[in-house]
Amino acid sequence: MRKVVVTPPFAHYPTEWHFSPGLDTGDFVFFSGVTGTRADRSIAQDPEAQFRDAFRFLEANLLHAGLTTGTIVEMTTYHVDLKRHLAIFMKVKDEFVAETYPAWTAIGVSELITDGALLEIRAIAKRA
């Protein structure tokens, strides 16, 4: 079984970008990288607001698949200016991700596909 998971505001992603925002395989749901891009395609200039928007977007995708942030087993985050924003990121992450924490890798990058994006979150969630 393979089922695309996409929230209605971002239903255009599979057609425009030719990828699945989420792919449900039954036991696991794989989420492509999400940024803090809003449905109107704007992005907050404030890092804290942008990080919160990214986690809200990820959370909306999880809920659409019948999951929560507590079901994330692995998370990879890509950061522009990783060390500069790490404390802010950790504060926001802890608002959404609680113990038992998923495996997590943070990677510093020079840029992301969306202009102005400072963060992209990729996650794998497991059904209980």
Domain 3-126 in this protein, CATH class = alpha beta
Domains of the chain, by residue range, sit at: 3-126
84: left (phi over 0), alpha (psi -120 to 50) or beta: alpha
Say what the pLDDT of residue 60 is: 94
Q: Whole-prediction pTM value?
A: 0.93
| Per-state percent for the chain, helix, strand, coil, to nearest 5 | 35, 30, 35
Print pLDDT tens along the chain (128 aa). 899 998 888 888 888 888 889 999 999 999 999 999 998 889 999 999 999 999 999 999 999 999 999 999 999 999 999 999 999 999 999 999 999 999 999 999 999 999 999 999 999 999 98
Task: Provide the 3-class DSSP secondary structure of residue 78.
Answer: strand
Q: Is 56 helix (H, G, I), strand (E, B) or coil?
A: helix
**Predicted local distance difference test score (pLDDT) of residue 9:** 82
